Amino acid sequence: MAILLIRQDGKTSQWLNAFKSQASQIECFDYNEPHPKETITMALVWKQPHGLFEQYKNLKCVASMGAGVDFIFEDPSFHQELLMTRVVDPLLITDMEEFVTAQVYAYMKGLYQYHSQQSLSLWQQNPYLRKKDITIGIMGMGVLGSATAKALSVQGFNVLGWSNSKKQIEGITTYEKVDLNLFLEKTNVLVCLLPLTPDTNGILNESLFSKLPRGAYLIHVARGPHLVGEDLIQSIDKGQMCGAAIDVFPTEPLDTKSPFWGHSKIHITPHCASISSPESVVAQIVVNYNRLTSHQPLLNQVDTLKGY
Residues annotated as catalytic (active site), given as ranges: 223, 271
Q: What is the 3-state secondary structure (H, E, C) of 12-46?
A: HHHHHHHHHHHCCCCEEEECCCCCCHHHEEEEEEE
Write the single-letter amino acid at 259.
Answer: P
Q: Collapsing DSSP states into helix, strand and coil, what is residue 204?
A: strand
Q: Which of 5, 23, 83, 141 binds ligand NDP (CB under 6 A)?
A: 141
Which residue, 223 or 267, has its beta carbon nearer to ligand NDP?
A: 223
Q: Which of 12, 146, 276, 288 binds ligand OXD (CB under 6 A)?
A: 276
What DSSP line would sit under 85-154, residue for residue? E----HHHHHHHHHHHHHHHHHHHTTHHHHHHHHHTT---------GGG-EEEEE--SHHHHHHHHHHHH
Q: Is 223 in the site for ligand NDP (CB under 6 A)?
A: yes
d(CA 104, CA 110): 10
- Which one, of 156, 136, 154, 157, lies nearest residue 221 by Cα? 136
Which residue, 66 or 243, has its beta carbon nearer to ligand NDP?
A: 66
Q: What is the CB neighbour count within 10 angstroms for residue 146?
A: 20
Q: Which of 18, 23, 26, 143 binds ligand NDP (CB under 6 A)?
A: 143
- Determine the distance from the C-alpha atom of residue 115 to the mean position of all C-alpha atoms in its chain, rounded to a whole number: 26
Strand order across the 266-268 sheet? 173-176, 158-163, 135-139, 189-192, 216-220, 241-246, 266-268
Site string for ligand OXD, 228-267 (x = CB under 6 A): ----------------------------------------
Q: Which of 12, 44, 61, 68 binds ligand NDP (CB under 6 A)?
A: 68
In angstroms, what is the minimal distance from the CB of 176 to ligand OXD?
24
221 binds, among ligand OXD, ligand NDP, none (CB under 5 to 8 A by kind): ligand NDP
Q: Which of 16, 66, 134, 160 binds ligand OXD (CB under 6 A)?
A: 66
In angstroms, what is the minimal distance from the CB of 31 to ligand OXD?
20
Which residue, 23 or 247, has its beta carbon nearer to ligand NDP?
A: 247
- The answer for residues whose C-beta is within 8 angstroms of residue 245's C-beta and 6 or more apart is 103, 106, 107, 217, 218, 219, 220, 266, 267, 269
In angstroms, what is the minimal distance from the CB of 298 to ligand OXD?
18
d(CA 289, CA 268): 37
In angstroms, what is the minimal distance from the CB of 108 to ligand OXD?
25
Q: Where are the alpha helices (DSSP H) in 132-277?
A: 143-154, 180-186, 206-210, 229-237
Site string for ligand NDP, 247-276 (x = CB under 6 A): xx----------------------x-xx--
Q: Is 68 in the site for ligand OXD (CB under 6 A)?
A: yes
d(CA 90, CA 96): 10
In angstroms, what is the minimal distance from the CB of 248 to ligand NDP?
5
Q: Interface with ligand OXD by CB under 6 A: which range of 66-74, 127-135, 233-241, 286-294?
A: 66-74
Q: Is 144 in the site for ligand OXD (CB under 6 A)?
A: no
Which residue, 162 or 308, has its beta carbon nearer to ligand OXD?
A: 308
Whether the CB-CB separation of 42 and 61 falls below 8 Å is answered with yes
d(CA 275, CA 86): 13
Q: Is 199 in the site for ligand NDP (CB under 6 A)?
A: yes
Residues that bind ligand OXD (CB under 6 A): 66-68, 87, 275-276
Residues that bind ligand NDP (CB under 6 A): 66-68, 92, 140-145, 163-165, 177, 193-197, 199-200, 221-223, 247-248, 271, 273-274, 308
